[in-house]
């Protein structure tokens, strides 16, 4: 009998409250059929009546029902159902029996339904309530947006997340592994370690339902970002000589160590954390992100030299951690964005007052221990996880915690903050409370896992150093506070410091590169994300080095030049108006991967505004940037050299710029053995569809890259709308182009390209033919499945 059964297919969905739908016999024949993971928010249009912080998409209340059959032999078995994530306020019933609720939308939770299921038909009912969308500072999604799994075992079986394997030590060419386990009954508990080649490396057994043992692996293959080798642990429960439960847990053999003077060590090798923060959505797919989408993103981040991921600011999808194990990323696994005090939630545009203050703070007092324990127990077997984070910017000044130590203070993201909001107000919660809560949370984590340190991303370390909050942590993260690294290293001997959230410039990286005691950094962010947008009609944050469709942005190559210095030679060009500084927030949004004069831009009132260029608009001066890992770069315009520049002397070591009067033709850069070119784009001549290779054989989820090309295979001058149609047993899940202000509903089968590109997400259960047609009549087809 199969132990774990995926329950994602065949759910019935109803948007709106339906009192009585918990009843097993409820008439749900008219309900909509859906496949999980499912996010109903992205099935509806963008609307400025909804919160800007969560991307102008709706919430609401909805019901899900799942009819499923159990065989006769399941009678007397132990049956559990696990929800990977439901946003939010999930209430669950089985066969009309109420099981409980889970407010936090990011927690994985399990119910034992053995007493209520029966051979034959069974019905799960789930009510999801997400009425207030100004409950987060980023897009959350709505619904059962992660997997649902049914586990059927003998009553003598392991508890949920009841086995924990860790590397105790590496010594004399051998690895000592410690196994802690918890089972419901049984008399013998055999464990065996299987090497990657399938051989048994060691085996042993426990004799009590709860216990621990050690195993030894000689000449182990060590897990690392460069060589993410995975072993597996075979775990069994025996009762009266019979095997009653079996499971396999993939794991890696590795050690970690943090040192306040010399940084981070993996397997006793000193390495820098080259990390990015990621939120959990994928644009058109909302929060229901298939593993294949994460794999494509991670492959690109890996190519840029990235070796670490911070799960901002909530427990991640388990598939993301599986990929980090398999592909070799180090993970900072984060639990919360707020504790007892609610943060400002922007709903009319970023930093537009007044805010709302809904969110997890209302549930934290009752649920924080349960939610934190669930995250640690679920994720502690992943070799990729090296840090447990108990919070993000909980100490953000005056949001809501205050202190008499600072009469007036601004945070790192406080544009337009009214004077009254900057001042000390004794009627607000006192920041000294944070040290008390931090100590409690650290204790909860340490009780379950002492092999990894506990951290938190501090927004206001100059305060948290004085309240005891920083001292409560094993490792201290600083958000955008590089200026305190040196001083705090001297003042707090032995403190482990790293950048938990950082800007993308060369200066920020130099603090890490040039100081042994700084463990690394995490850029804000790896990928653009829905929400946290400045205001209508902008629907996303463009903080990523990849856009929302997963394509590389200019800062991607900039970071690659810093992080991949010893890699293959490369160079990348981009251009923007000379009036735009590279360091400005607008630089990424308005940097072109085409060589063309900067066009007039539509204003919010629909008219056009003049380009921000003081020169002749027919011959504007453009700023051309080259990022490269070479020492020198020479730029040519239509074959004429515009000069050779030394990256260190005339740039920041990774990027140099030229100001170039525009003329049609070709820009070419030669940087050592690398070269890159931009050409004046022509009219669209060809529409192409390119399926992304599947990460896992047998997957039914496809990503089709859409390109609108001009001459020489370069992106076309103008974007066009592209319509997608399917023939066969398939479903168009959405089309994403990464454009920040494209408000086309995600439910549409038509979307405009952006910079000549878009990506279509398709679920194909059998062979499917994908037809694409542009508004100018170009057509293309591709078969998948």
Phi, psi of 134 (to 5 degrees): -85, 50
**Span 352-380, mean pLDDT?**
97
DSSP state of 484: G
The number of C-alpha atoms within 13 Å of 445 and in the hemisphere containing its C-beta is 30
- What is d(CA 723, CA 741) in angstroms, rounded to the nearest whole number? 19
Tell me the pairing of strands 330-334 and 308-311.
parallel
CA distances from 307 to 271, 330, 549 (A): 10, 6, 21
605 has pLDDT over 50: no
Helix axes 318-327, 364-379, angle to 10 degrees: 30
Q: Are 217 and 164 in contact (CB under 8 A)?
A: no
672 has pLDDT over 70: yes
* Tokens matching residue 190: 């055999």
- Give SS3 for 318: helix
- How many H helices and E strands in the chain? 11, 47
**Span 575-592, mean pLDDT?**
51
- The model's confidence at residue 416, banded by pLDDT at 50, 70 and 90, is confident
Give the pLDDT score at 715.
Answer: 85
- What is d(CA 286, CA 145) in angstroms, rounded to the nearest whole number? 9
**Span 315-323, mean pLDDT?**
98
Task: Please write the tens of the pLDDT for every residue from 370-386.
Answer: 999 999 999 999 999 99
- What is d(CA 421, CA 494) in angstroms, rounded to the nearest whole number? 35
363 has pLDDT over 60: yes
> DSSP of 643-701, one letter per residue?
EEEEHHHHSSSSEEEEEEE--SSEEEEEETTEEEEEE------EEEEEEPPPSSTT--E
Give the pLDDT score at 712.
Answer: 76
**Span 274-296, mean pLDDT?**
98
Give the pLDDT score at 364.
Answer: 98
- The model's confidence at residue 578, banded by pLDDT at 50, 70 and 90, is low
Residues in the chain: 785
Residues contacting 101, CB < 8 A, separation 6+:
89, 90, 91, 92
Q: Are 221 and 253 in contact (CB under 8 A)?
A: yes
Give the helix/strand (H/E) hosting 104. Answer: none
- Residue 663, number of CB atoms within 10 A of its CB: 12
- What is d(CA 231, CA 220) in angstroms, rounded to the nearest whole number? 10
Task: Please write the tens of the pLDDT for every residue from 482-494.
Answer: 999 999 999 999 9
* Tokens matching residue 103: 């407010």
Maximum pairwise Cα distance, the chain: 89
Give the helix/strand (H/E) hosting 734. Answer: strand 721-736
- The model's confidence at residue 595, banded by pLDDT at 50, 70 and 90, is low
pLDDT over 90 percentage in the chain = 85
767 has pLDDT over 60: yes
Give the pLDDT score at 592.
Answer: 54
34 has pLDDT over 50: yes
- The model's confidence at residue 612, banded by pLDDT at 50, 70 and 90, is very low
**Span 210-220, mean pLDDT?**
98
Nearest to 102 by CA among 116, 89, 83, 87: 89
Q: Which of 34-43, 460-469, 677-686 has the lowest mean pLDDT?
A: 677-686
591 has pLDDT over 80: no
Residues contacting 83, CB < 8 A, separation 6+:
90, 92, 102, 108, 109, 110, 126, 144, 146, 148
Task: Please write the tens of the pLDDT for every residue from 190-207.
Answer: 999 999 999 999 999 999
Q: What does the H/E/C string look like for 170-231?
A: EECCEEEEEEEEEEECCCEEEEEEECCCCCEEEEEEECCCEEEEEEEEECCCCCCCCCCCCE
Q: In whole numbers, what is the pLDDT of the chain averaged over residues?
A: 93
Q: Which of 291-295, 372-376, 423-427, 564-568 has the lowest mean pLDDT?
A: 564-568
Prediction pTM value: 0.95
- The model's confidence at residue 664, banded by pLDDT at 50, 70 and 90, is confident
Q: Are 761 and 285 in contact (CB under 8 A)?
A: yes
Give the pLDDT score at 663.
Answer: 86
Cross-strand bridge partners of residue 205? 190
Give the pLDDT score at 759.
Answer: 98
**Span 608-620, mean pLDDT?**
50
613 has pLDDT over 70: no
């Amino acid at each position: 009998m199969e132990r774990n059964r995926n329950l994602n297919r065949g759910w019935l969905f109803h948007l709106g409250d339906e009192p009585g739908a918990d009843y097993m016999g409820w008439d749900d024949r008219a309900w909509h059929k859906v496949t999980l993971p499912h996010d109903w928010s992205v099935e509806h249009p963008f609307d400025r009546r909804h919160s800007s912080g969560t991307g102008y998409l709706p919430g609401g209340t909805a019901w899900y029902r799942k009819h499923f059959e159990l065989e006769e032999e399941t009678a007397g078995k132990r049956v559990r159902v696990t929800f990977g994530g439901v946003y939010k306020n999930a209430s669950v019933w089985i066969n009309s029996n109420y099981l409980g609720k889970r407010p936090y939308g990011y927690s994985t939770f399990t119910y034992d339904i053995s007493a209520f299921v029966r051979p034959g038909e069974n019905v799960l009912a789930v009510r999801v309530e997400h009425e207030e969308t100004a409950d987060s500072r980023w897009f959350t999604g709505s619904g059962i947006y992660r997997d649902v799994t049914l586990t059927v075992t003998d009553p003598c079986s392991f508890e949920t997340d009841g086995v924990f394997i860790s590397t105790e030590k590496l010594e004399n060419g051998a690895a000592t592994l410690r196994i802690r386990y918890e089972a419901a009954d049984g008399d013998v508990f055999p464990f065996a370690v299987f090497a990657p080649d399938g051989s048994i490396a060691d085996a042993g057994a426990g004799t009590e339902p709860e216990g621990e043992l050690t195993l030894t692996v000689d000449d182990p293959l060590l897990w690392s970002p460069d060589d993410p080798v995975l072993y597996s642990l075979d775990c069994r429960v025996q009762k009266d000589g019979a095997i009653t439960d079996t499971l396999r847990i993939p794991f890696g053999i590795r050690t970690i160590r943090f040192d306040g003077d010399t940084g981070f060590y993996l397997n006793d090798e000193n390495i820098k954390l080259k990390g990015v923060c990621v939120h959990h959505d994928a644009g058109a797919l909302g929060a229901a992100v298939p593993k294949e989408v994460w794999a494509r993103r991670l492959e690109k981040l890996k190519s840029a030299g990235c070796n670490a991921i911070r799960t901002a600011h909530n427990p991640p999808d388990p598939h993301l951690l599986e990929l980090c194990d398999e592909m070799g990323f180090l993970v900072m696994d984060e639990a919360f964005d707020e504790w007892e005090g609610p943060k400002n939630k922007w709903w009319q545009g970023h930093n537009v007052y007044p805010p709302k203050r809904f969110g997890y703070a209302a549930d934290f007092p009752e649920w924080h221990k349960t939610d934190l324990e669930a995250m640690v127990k679920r994720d502690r077997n992943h070799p990729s996880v090296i840090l447990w984070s108990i919070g993000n910017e909980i100490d953000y000044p005056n949001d809501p915690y205050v202190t008499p130590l600072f009469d007036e203070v601004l945070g790192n993201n406080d544009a337009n903050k009214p004077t009254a909001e900057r001042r000390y107000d004794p009627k607000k919660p006192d920041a000294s409370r944070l040290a008390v809560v931090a100590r409690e949370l650290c204790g909860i984590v340490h009780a379950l896992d002492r092999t990894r340190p506990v951290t938190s991303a501090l927004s206001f370390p100059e305060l948290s150093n004085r309240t005891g909050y920083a001292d409560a942590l094993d490792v201290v993260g600083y958000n955008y506070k590089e200026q305190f690294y040196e001083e705090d290293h001297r003042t707090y001997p032995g403190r482990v410091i790293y950048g938990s959230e950082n800007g993308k410039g060369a200066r920020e990286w130099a603090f890490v590169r040039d100081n042994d005691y700084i463990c690394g950094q995490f850029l804000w962010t790896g990928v653009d994300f829905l929400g946290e947008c400045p205001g209508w009609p902008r629907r996303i944050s463009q903080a990523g080095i990849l856009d929302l469709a997963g394509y590389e942005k200019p800062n991607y190559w900039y970071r690659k030049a810093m992080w991949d210095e010893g890699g293959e030679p490369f160079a990348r060009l981009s251009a923007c108006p000379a009036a735009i500084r590279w360091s400005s927030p607008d630089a990424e949004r308005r940097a072109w991967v085409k060589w063309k004069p900067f066009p007039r831009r539509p204003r919010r009132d629909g008219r056009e505004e003049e380009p921000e260029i003081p020169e002749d608009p027919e011959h504007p001066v453009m700023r051309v940037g080259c990022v490269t890992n070479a020492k020198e770069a020479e730029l040519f315009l239509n074959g004429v050299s515009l000069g050779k520049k030394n990256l260190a002397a005339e740039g920041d070591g990774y990027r140099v710029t030229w100001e170039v009067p525009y003329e049609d033709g070709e820009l070419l850069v030669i940087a050592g053995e690398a070269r890159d070119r931009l050409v004046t784009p022509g009219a669209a001549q060809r529409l192409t569809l390119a399926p992304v290779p599947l990460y896992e054989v047998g997957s039914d989820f496809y990503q089709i890259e859409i390109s609108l090309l001009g001459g020489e295979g370069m992106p076309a001058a103008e974007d066009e709308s592209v319509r997608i149609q399917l023939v066969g047993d398939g479903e168009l899940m959405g089309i994403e182009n990464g454009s920040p202000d494209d408000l086309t509903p995600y439910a549409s089968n038509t979307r405009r390209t952006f910079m000549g590109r878009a990506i279509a997400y398709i679920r194909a259960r059998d062979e499917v033919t994908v037809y694409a047609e542009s508004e100018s009549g170009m057509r293309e087809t591709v078969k998948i499945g």
